[in-house]
Every structure is written in structure tokens, then in C-alpha cells.
A and B are shown apart, each in its own frame.
Chain A
Amino acid sequence: MTWQLLVNGAVSASMYVLTGVGFAAIYSALRFFHFAHAAVVMTGAYVAFALFQPLGFPIWAAVAGGIVVSACIGCGMELVVYRPLRSKGAPSLVLLLASLGMYVVLQNVISMVFGDDAKSIRITEVKEGLNLLGARITPIQIVSIATGTVALIGTGTLLRFTRQGKAMKAMASDCELSVASGIDTTRVALFAFAVGSALAGVSGILIGIDAAVTPMMGMNVLLMGVIAVIVGGVRSIIGIAAAAVVLGMAQQFGAWYMGPEWQEAAAFAVLLVFLLFFPRGFSRIKEGKATV
């Protein structure tokens, strides 16, 4: 049983990591909570669903389409709402309010188009999973874990070795200084939205294939992703991954002992304890600008 819980925990962890790392990319560049990220997760999943099932595209095209549309929606939010707001000097709370508004609008548009019932992207028929040390794991779950790992390594490489990635890191540590040293911060911000939103799309599609696509899925997974980011540290991809794994495992084991309906509340109770007692603690999310 323990093995099974570990496997399930790893599957949820990979979804949280994908969402969390995307969220962190945007947060670290612009320092505000982009709650509409949840709507981006959901959009990716619904677009892939629509392309695959009703429209009959092959699965690779549906997945690619979902990821591209997610990235476009994220960039659209930045171009239409966030960038004009920032140029007016709006503080982070106002950006957060705008993101809440965008989340509500997109979520309701999707629920109008697709309905509130759970949809599922069925690639293969449901069958018993492979046996791995006594635990059952379906091929899709293996793909989820693998994708999560690959995306993590990919994003880490991107941040460390490419010019854009380095610019993102510079912006995260000191925005004014990066402007002064000639970094085009508006372009880097757009890049952060593109990468972050594409990752969100991937996680949405994986959830859709493994479990179900619902109008609430985005917020559920984003909240877990945000917890992983706050606990693990916004700057450190490895930290986010570790926190996501712990969170995924804790949820599975907690669900086994307490019942699955309390998963979410328990995760949030942990978050509140963290925010209250270790507001800077493990995360360093608050350290903000380097002090002069």
C-alpha cells in the first residue's frame, strides 16, 4: 500500500511542480500573484480536449494546440492587462485584483462553452495499470512523472544557460538594476509569461488525461502549486520540486488516513502555519530586492 501511495503522490507532485514552476517564473520576474494562472491551466486542458475529442485531431496535435493556446492566453493577459497596469505604476495588489477578475471571466466563459460536468481526454481505454513493486501505475502516470521531470530540467537549463533565462534571473533579483544594465524587462516579462503559461498548459493537459477536466481544476492545482512555491522557495526550482513531492505524498497519506475530502483543507492549514510562523523561513520568497 505504501508503494501505491508513493506512486500516486509522485503523480500529483508532477502536476503541482509544473503549475508551481510556471507560477514562480512569472512571480519572480514581476513580483505579484498571478491567480489567473489557474485559468491558463484550465484553458490548456479544455483546448486539448476540444481538439482531440469533438474535433478529432490526433493526440499530438491536440496537446501541441493546448500548450500553444495556453502560452498565447498568458501572453495576452500580460500584453492587454498587466503591462498597461504596470506602466501606470500600479502596485502588486492591483495586479492581483486584475488577475482575480481575469480568472473569474475565463472560468465562466469556459463553463458556458463546455458545461460544468467533468470531461476526460481518453487516449487509451481504461485498463489495469502496470505492476511496479506491488503498486499499480498506468502508462499515463509514468508519462506525467516523466514530463514533470523533463520540464523541470528544461526550465532549469533555460534559466541557467540562455540569455533570456539569465535576464529573468537578473530581473528577479533586482528589477531596477536590470533596467540599468540594459535588460529589456518588458520583453523578459513577456518571455516569463510565455514559458510559465506553456508549463501551465502542460500540467492542465496531463490532469485531463490522467483524471478529468473540470472548470474547478485550475484553481485546485494552482493553489497546491502556490503552496509548493511558498514552501519551497520562489527562486529555487529544486526547492519547489521538493516541496511539491512532500505535498503530494502528504496528501496521499493524509487521504488514506483521513479521507480524501479533507486533502485541500489540510494542505491549506499547512500553508497558513507556514505563512504565519515561517513567513521568510524556508522560502526566502519575501527577500525582495537586494539591499544596498
Chain B
Amino acid sequence: MEYFLHILILVAIYVILATSLNLIAGYAGMLSIAHAALYGMGAYVAALMALKLHSPFLVNLLFAVLLTGGLGLLLGIPALRVRDDYFVVVTFGFQIIMFNVLNNWISFTGGPMGLAGVPQPSIFGWSISSRIDFLILGFCLGCLSIVICWRLGRSPFGRVLKALREDEVFAMAAGKNVAASKLVVFLTAASLAATAGVMYAYYVSFIDPTSFGFTESVLIISIVIVGGAGNLWGSVLGAVLLISLPELLRFVGLPGVFAANVRQILYGALLILFVMWRPQGLLGEYRFQKAEAKE
């Protein structure tokens, strides 16, 4: 039962990550490999504040969201200048720099040893200690993320994002503020990724840079692609499938040392298979193809 709850909590964290990345990649069509960097930023801000300042959970959450939102804006600025593949390279660079900072700034972030002993959170006297408590918290944050992304996606703003992804010049010609829309979507997605990071840091109570590296970004992208870019429920379904599927491997008697490798191979293989045979994912609509190239 505890094990089952653990999987559900992880699913909740990845639902937040996938829905927020879907806003950037699926709705606005800007593929980013830096989502794990934003996730890590949220986790580290909360963990550092909890450990060094002993500030309460909600304050840490707020600061993590604000600071990561700022970082997201920083990531959004290049998106105003470079597009498509080049933007991917920029986010790649961003991801590598973030990982290096977490890994090398030993006096502040603990470097490869990570940060241990993040205290248990409490909200207005509700002390979150058992897995059930964490699941409730994760469920609330996950739902919050879905609602925010859903509202944004259905709003006029969401339609501007989709217009952006299909034909940026056309959106501009129609009088939409392309630059502002891009920045807002990065701000929102980064803030949401930060909540996932905070949740993760408090839940596992030990964080190190390897949880927020390049392969983690690829995992989040795989969830979005498998579920379907541009469809919110796709990301939820993708998170449920990709997080629970590797757990099934435990039951076929796979040696434990290879578990991490096999999981990653599974994610990579799913990514390849989906882009080859079902680029729109399970529920999606977008194939990373511009409108003018579709004929």
C-alpha cells in the first residue's frame, strides 16, 4: 500500500511537470529541454530555505515559485529571438549551466552530495508526514496545475499560443502581442514546475543534482509526446503511463542494479516509437509541424 501511494505521489509530481511543459511545447510549440532545470530550481530554493532559514512551507513555496518564475522569464527571452531547433539548443545550454551550478557550487548547493534532511512541511498546523498526507498535497497541487493550464489553454490567451505555434508571423499580423505571450507562458510554466520541485524536495527530503539533469528533461518531454502535445489530458495520461509502466518491470524479476537504466531505455524507446508512428501522441493534436509545411 505504501508503495502504491509512493507511485501515486510521483505521478502527481509528473502531472504538474508534464502539463506545464505542455503549455510551452504543446500549446506554444517551443520545444524546451530545460524543464528539469526549472524543476530543480524550485526544489533547491525550497530546500535551501527550509534548511538554512527554517522558514515555513508556504513561504518557501511562494519564494520558489517567484524565483523560478523569474528564471523562466530569463529562459523565455531567448525564445523571442531564436526559434525551433536553435531554441532547443538554447534550452539545452540553459539545462547544462543549471546542472553545473547545482553540481559545482558546493558551498551553497552541497554539490554532488546534495541537500539532506529537508524537514517535514506543515500548512496552518496540518503537519504533512505520512504518505497519505503527501498524496493529498500532491493531488491538490496537481489539480491546481491542471486547472491553471486548462483555463489558460481554453482562454483567448491559449488560442494566441496555438496561433503562435502554427504561424508566428500571422499571429503578429493579426495584432497579437507575440513577445508578451511567450514570456507569460514561460513565467506560468516555470512557476508550475517550481511547485513540482518543492513538492519533490519535501517528499523525498533529500535532493541532489542528478534528479534534475538532462535525462530528466527528456523524461518530461517523453511524457508530453506520448500523451500528446497540445492536449492537457494527454499529459495527465502520459504521466500515469510513463511513471507506472516501469514499476511493472519490478514484477518481472529484473535485477535491481539495472532498474534505472531500463527505465531510461524504456522512456527513450517510447519517445522514438511515438515520433515515428504516432507523432501526435495518444490524445494530442500537434505534430511539431508548422502550418505552411502541412500541405
Does B97 contact A93, Cβ atoms closer than 8 Å?
no
- Mark A236-260 against chain B: 1 for CB-CB distance below 8 A, else 0: 0000000000000000000000000
- Mark A66-98 against chain B: 1 for CB-CB distance below 8 A, else 0: 000000000000000100110001111110111
- B22 interface hit (Cβ, 8 Å): no
Does A102 contact B84, Cβ atoms closer than 8 Å?
no
Complex CA distance for A91 and B29, rounded to whole angstroms: 13
Known A-B contacts A92-B85, A272-B93; the reply to A109 vs B265 at CB < 8 A is yes
- B279 interface hit (Cβ, 8 Å): yes
Quick one: which of B3-48 are within 8 Å of A by CB?
31, 33
Interface of A is mostly: helix
Q: Which residue of A lies closest to B294 (CB)?
A: A89
CB distance from A245 to the nearest CB of B (A): 21
- A178 interface hit (Cβ, 8 Å): no
**Chain B residues, Cβ within 8 Å of A112:** 258, 261-262
Does A105 contact B265, Cβ atoms closer than 8 Å?
yes
Chain A interface residue count, Cβ-Cβ cutoff 8 angstroms? 41
CB distance from A216 to the nearest CB of B (A): 10
Does B81 contact A105, Cβ atoms closer than 8 Å?
no
- B267 interface hit (Cβ, 8 Å): yes
CB distance from B33 to the nearest CB of A (A): 8
Complex CA distance for A236 and B166, rounded to whole angstroms: 33
Interface of B is mostly: helix
Does B261 contact A261, Cβ atoms closer than 8 Å?
no
- B275 interface hit (Cβ, 8 Å): yes
Does A100 contact B86, Cβ atoms closer than 8 Å?
no
Does A104 contact B218, Cβ atoms closer than 8 Å?
yes
Known A-B contacts A97-B275, A100-B218; the reply to A275 vs B82 at CB < 8 A is yes
- A286 interface hit (Cβ, 8 Å): yes
Complex CA distance for A92 and B81, rounded to whole angstroms: 19
Q: Which single member of A219, A265, A279 contacts B81 (CB below 8 Å)?
A: A279
**Chain A residues, Cβ within 8 Å of B264:** 104-105, 107-108
**Chain A residues, Cβ within 8 Å of B104:** 261-262, 265
Known A-B contacts A96-B85, A96-B88, A279-B81; the reply to A261 vs B100 at CB < 8 A is yes
Q: Which single member of B100, B265, B290 contacts A104 (CB below 8 Å)?
A: B265
**Chain B residues, Cβ within 8 Å of A97:** 31, 221, 225, 271, 275, 288
- A230 interface hit (Cβ, 8 Å): yes
Does B269 contact A275, Cβ atoms closer than 8 Å?
no
Does A100 contact B276, Cβ atoms closer than 8 Å?
no
Does A223 contact B275, Cβ atoms closer than 8 Å?
no
**Chain A residues, Cβ within 8 Å of B81:** 275-276, 279
Q: Which residue of A lies closest to B217 (CB)?
A: A100
Does A108 contact B261, Cβ atoms closer than 8 Å?
yes
Complex CA distance for A258 and B90, rounded to whole angstroms: 24
**Chain B residues, Cβ within 8 Å of A108:** 261-262, 264-265, 268
- B63 interface hit (Cβ, 8 Å): no
Does A100 contact B261, Cβ atoms closer than 8 Å?
no
CB distance from B194 to the nearest CB of A (A): 22
Tell which of A111, A268, A271 has the most Cβ of chain B within 10 Å: A268
Known A-B contacts A100-B221, A275-B90; the reply to A264 vs B268 at CB < 8 A is no
Known A-B contacts A98-B271, A101-B268, A268-B96; the reply to A92 vs B101 at CB < 8 A is no
Q: Which residue of A lies closest to B289 (CB)?
A: A91
- Mark B231-270 against chain A: 1 for CB-CB distance below 8 A, else 0: 0000000000000000000000000001001101101111
Q: Which residue of A lies closest to B273 (CB)?
A: A101
- Mark A97-133 against chain B: 1 for CB-CB distance below 8 A, else 0: 1101111110111011000000000000000000000
Q: Which residue of A lies closest to B80 (CB)?
A: A276
Does A268 contact B93, Cβ atoms closer than 8 Å?
yes
Task: Kindly list the 4 A-B residue pairs having the minimum CB-CB distance in the complex, ordered from nearest.
Answer: A104-B268, A101-B271, A105-B268, A101-B272
Q: A97-B271, A104-B271, A109-B261 are in contact. List 11 more A-B contacts (CB 8 A).
A: A81-B276, A91-B290, A93-B85, A94-B275, A100-B221, A104-B218, A104-B267, A105-B272, A109-B265, A265-B100, A276-B78
Instruction: Enumerate 8 A-B pairs (CB-CB under 8 Å) in ascending A order.
Output: A100-B218, A102-B268, A226-B89, A261-B100, A269-B93, A272-B93, A272-B97, A276-B90
